[in-house]
């Protein structure tokens, strides 16, 4: 059984007097421990697919249907409170697009990490602090970052903090949506190597969403190509680059 199985998934948005079919009948399977890249042009529905799996929607949803199975559980069928308590961040974590701007500027990194842990676990403040400091080391940041505010960090450091926040409860599935956007080439490379190492060490199932074929060539073992709300081609990364079959991929 695939670790993640998406079937007939649709996510439509209301926009003025029309409906945008952002995700339009997606079928996708990801094996346990696999790293899948999802590529496609801007506006093809990649980020909406991530939102659908993570159940993080804007207010203007017109339709959400289909199934998303994590193991043997269809997570679209469980209540929001159960999903928030038992799945979001604990079993499924996400590094969202433009995630560097997701840190609250008025709180220290440490306060935000500790609050995230305590909201989704029974840890004491001391235990949460120790876990946070250990996680900062794991993403190759000095422990001093715990007491710093976001404005005191570089873009690469903030992205490492967001990765630490996503992984701090040891999820089994990680979704990274454009994880290297707005970073310079050198920092991009370091972040990708970090994510790849952590995914491997933790044996996580990982999904990388990007418009950049160069990113998936570094991190993904298999690639799904998305176009106009649908997955139009799936292949091992080496095959896709050597012999793309769909006209969109060829272009």
Q: Which of 1, 46, 25, 30 is nearest to 173 (CA)?
A: 30
Q: What is the pLDDT of residue 240?
A: 87
H/E run at residue 79: none
Instruction: Note whether 206 and 197 are within 8 A (CB).
Output: no
Q: What is the mean pLDDT of the chain?
A: 93
What are the pLDDT digits (tens) for 2-33? 999 999 999 999 998 999 999 999 999 999 99
What is the CATH T-level fold of the domain 4-101+173-250, as seen in this structure? Rossmann fold (3.40.50)
Banded pLDDT at 185 (limits 50, 70, 90): confident
pTM for the full predicted model:
0.92
Residue length, the chain?
251
What are the pLDDT digits (tens) for 92-143? 999 988 777 889 999 999 999 999 999 999 999 999 999 999 999 999 999 9
Question: Phi/psi of residue 135, each to 5°?
Answer: -70, -35
Any alpha helices (H) in the chain, and if so which ranges?
46-54, 80-86, 109-119, 125-138, 155-167, 185-202, 213-219, 237-242, 247-250
What are the pLDDT digits (tens) for 188-229? 889 999 999 999 999 999 999 998 888 888 889 999 999 999
């Amino acid at each position: 059984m695939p670790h993640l199985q998406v079937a007939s998934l649709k996510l439509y948005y209301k926009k003025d007097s029309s409906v945008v079919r952002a995700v339009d009948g997606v079928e996708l399977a990801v094996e346990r421990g696999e790293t899948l890249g999802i590529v496609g042009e801007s506006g093809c529905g990649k980020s909406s697919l991530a939102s659908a799996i993570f159940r993080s929607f804007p207010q203007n949803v017109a339709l959400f249907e289909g199934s998303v199975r994590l193991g043997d559980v269809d997570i679209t069928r469980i209540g929001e409170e159960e999903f928030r308590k038992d799945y979001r961040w604990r079993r499924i974590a996400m590094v969202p697009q433009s995630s560097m701007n997701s840190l609250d500027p008025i709180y220290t990194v440490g306060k935000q990490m500790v609050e995230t842990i305590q909201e989704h676990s029974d840890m004491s403040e001391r235990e949460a602090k120790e876990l946070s400091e250990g996680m900062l080391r794991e993403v190759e940041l000095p422990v001093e970052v715990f007491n710093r505010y976001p404005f005191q960090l570089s873009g690469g450091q903030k992205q490492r903090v967001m990765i630490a926040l996503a992984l701090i409860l040891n999820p089994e599935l990680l979704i990274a949506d454009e994880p290297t956007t707005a970073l310079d080439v050198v920092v991009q490379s370091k972040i990708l190597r970090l994510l790849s190492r952590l995914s491997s060490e933790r044996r996580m199932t990982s999904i990388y969403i990007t418009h950049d074929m160069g990113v998936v060539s570094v991190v993904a073992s298999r690639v799904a190509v998305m176009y106009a709300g649908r997955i139009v081609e799936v292949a091992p990364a080496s095959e896709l680059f050597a012999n793309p079959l769909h006209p969109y991929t060829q272009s």
